[in-house]
């Protein structure tokens, strides 16, 4: 019997993981999209984009055979998370409070991509290094004139998904008016595998533990701030930009990790809340092509890998007489992801809105709420389990 064919459009982490998972499940899988031209950093150099990988995502990457292919020296475990409000509120979460091995693992995007690409080569998965051009009669036309057909097309081509537009899948986007500024820092004090987050009232600052370097202790910063404030910072000359950020960090963190010094280039990316219809006849979306949430919980990639896992399960359990692109099959995938995606969207958007409110009652209520949660073991176990993807 001929294998069903699936074409994955998109070569980021979600696309690579989807292609690998489908190939391992026995589908005739191919990949469409340009190959990354950048080599993974080594030594004391680190990729500017890092992810907090949840327990569920770590287990999935292990099942794919990818986790153990990554250099463990470049992976940092988060044992504890400290969250501070904009007044007296604070919550501290420890992995042991929910019998978890870790709250999350910090991994560079480049390390995951490198391991996934190596696994794809082992499986001999065809990779068409073209760009998607258009969709006609269910067939994909590329910018180099190739015409590709498959029983199912998977859109993993990011927030500006060309396949999503071509398939006519409804998409809703709302800008936050904020920018996420990312940079790696050298810290005076060791991070002790603790992630720290501050809701400052005019932004959300997170410091994530990373491997030490020859310069000292290292953390990765993600600071969500207004687009105007971020642009004013990024427009400064390099020396002034570093000096300004280091001064702002000292004020915001209260010396929690001692003196913080910029050790890498600084980048900014606009923040959006987005969701889509997920599927169309013969088309399914995963990852950023399907949805985006505020990064305050660090769950964007985990949500995308959850899509991949759900899609693989639905396809594995479908009736033999139904094709992978059958809308009745794909509707099961959409239903499977509806609740977790909605829950994450409401949680992150709600927290953002709660801490954006500047009235005195709102400030009092949110900080009191944090203090109450910090005294409730059951609430902590619930939060830790949600962060782990359980």
Q: DSSP letters of 319-340?
A: -TTS-TT-HHHHHHHHHHHHHH
353-382 pLDDT, tens digit per residue, is: 777 766 776 666 676 676 676 676 776 676
- The torsion angles phi and psi of 217, rounded to 5 degrees, stand at -75, 145
Measured distance CA(242)–CA(262) in Å, rounded: 6
- Say yes or no to pLDDT of 386 above 80: no
Write down the pLDDT at residue 90. Answer: 81
Q: Can you say whether the dihedral through the CA atoms of 241, 243, 244, 249 is positive or negative?
A: positive
- Percent of the chain's residues with pLDDT above 90: 78
pTM of the model: 0.94
Interatomic CA distance for residues 351 and 343, integer angstroms: 12
pLDDT at residue 223, rounded to an integer: 97
Q: Where are the alpha helices (DSSP H) in 180-299?
A: 227-234, 238-253
For 163-212, the DSSP string reads HHHHHT--EEEEEEEEEEEEEEEEESS--TTEEEEEE-SSEEEEEEEEEE
Return the pLDDT at 362: 67
Residue 140: beta bridge partners? 135, 148
Which pLDDT band, with edges at 50, 70 and 90, does 16 fall under?
Answer: very high
pLDDT at residue 368, as a whole number:
66
What pLDDT score does 296 carry? Answer: 84
pLDDT for 390 beyond 70: no
Instruction: Tell me how far apart the alpha carbons of residues 218 and 385 are, in angstroms, rounded to a whole number.
Output: 27
pLDDT tens for each residue of 96-114: 887 789 999 999 999 999 9
Q: What is the pLDDT of residues 320-362, one digit of tens each?
A: 999 999 999 999 999 999 999 999 998 888 888 777 766 776 6
pLDDT digits (tens, 9 = 90+) for 249-261: 999 999 999 999 9
What single-letter DSSP state applies at residue 256? B
Across the range 158-182, mean pLDDT stands at: 97
Chain centroid, CA 241 distance in Å? 27
pLDDT at 380: 64
pLDDT band at 202 (very low <50, low <70, confident <90, very high): confident
At CA 323, angle to CA 319 and CA 329, rounded to 5? 65
Nearest Cα to 219, choosing from 58, 13, 78, 72? 78
User: Which tokens hold the place of 305?
Assistant: 């890998």
Task: Determine which of 68-72, 89-93, 156-160 has the lowest per-residue pLDDT on average.
Answer: 89-93
**How many residues can be counted in the chain?**
390
The predicted pLDDT at position 36 comes to: 82
Residue 308: the pLDDT is 98
pLDDT above 90 for 63: yes
Question: Looking at the predicted structure, is the pLDDT value of residue 305 above 60?
Answer: yes
Per the DSSP assignment, residues forming a β-bridge with 141 are: 134, 147
Residue 1 has pLDDT above 60, yes or no: no
């Amino acid at each position: 019997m001929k294998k069903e064919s699936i074409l994955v459009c998109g070569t980021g982490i979600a696309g690579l993981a989807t292609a690998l998972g489908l190939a391992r499940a026995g589908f005739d899988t191919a990949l469409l999209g340009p190959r990354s031209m950048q080599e993974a950093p080594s030594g004391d150099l680190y990729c500017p984009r890092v992810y907090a990988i949840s327990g569920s995502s770590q287990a999935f990457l292990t099942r794919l055979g990818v986790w153990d292919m990554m250099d463990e020296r470049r992976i940092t475990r988060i044992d504890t998370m400290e969250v501070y409000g904009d007044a007296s509120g604070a919550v501290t979460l420890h992995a042991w409070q929910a019998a978890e091995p870790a709250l999350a693992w910090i991994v560079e995007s480049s390390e995951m991509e490198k391991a996934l690409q190596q696994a794809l080569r082992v499986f001999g998965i065809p990779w068409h290094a073209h760009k998607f051009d258009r969709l006609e009669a269910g067939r994909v036309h590329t910018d180099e004139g190739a015409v590709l057909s498959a029983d199912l097309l998977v859109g993993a081509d990011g927030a500006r998904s060309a396949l999503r537009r071509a398939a006519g899948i409804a998409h809703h986007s709302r800008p936050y008016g904020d920018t996420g500024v990312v940079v790696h820092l050298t810290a005076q004090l060791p991070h002790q595998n603790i992630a720290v987050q501050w809701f400052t009232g005019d932004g959300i600052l997170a410091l994530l533990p990373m491997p030490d370097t020859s310069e000292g202790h290292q953390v990765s910063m993600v600071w969500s701030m207004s687009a105007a404030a971020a642009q004013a910072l990024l427009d400064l000359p390099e020396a002034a930009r570093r000096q300004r950020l280091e001064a702002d960090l000292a004020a915001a963190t209260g010396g929690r990790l001692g003196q913080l010094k910029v050790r890498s280039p600084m980048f900014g990316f606009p923040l959006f809340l987005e969701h889509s219809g997920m599927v169309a006849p013969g088309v399914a979306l995963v990852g950023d092509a399907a949805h985006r949430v505020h990064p305050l919980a660090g769950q964007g990639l985990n949500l995308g890998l959850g899509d991949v896992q759900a899609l693989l399960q639905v396809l594995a359990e479908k009736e033999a007489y139904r094709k992978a692109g059958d809308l009745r099959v794909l509707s099961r995938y959409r239903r499977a992801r509806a609740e977790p995606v909605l829950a994450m969207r409401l949680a992150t958007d709600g927290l953002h809105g709660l801490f954006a409110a500047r009235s005195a009652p709102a400030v009092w209520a949110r900080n009191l709420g944090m203090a109450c949660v910090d005294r409730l073991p059951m609430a902590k176990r619930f939060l830790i389990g949600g962060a782990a993807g359980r």
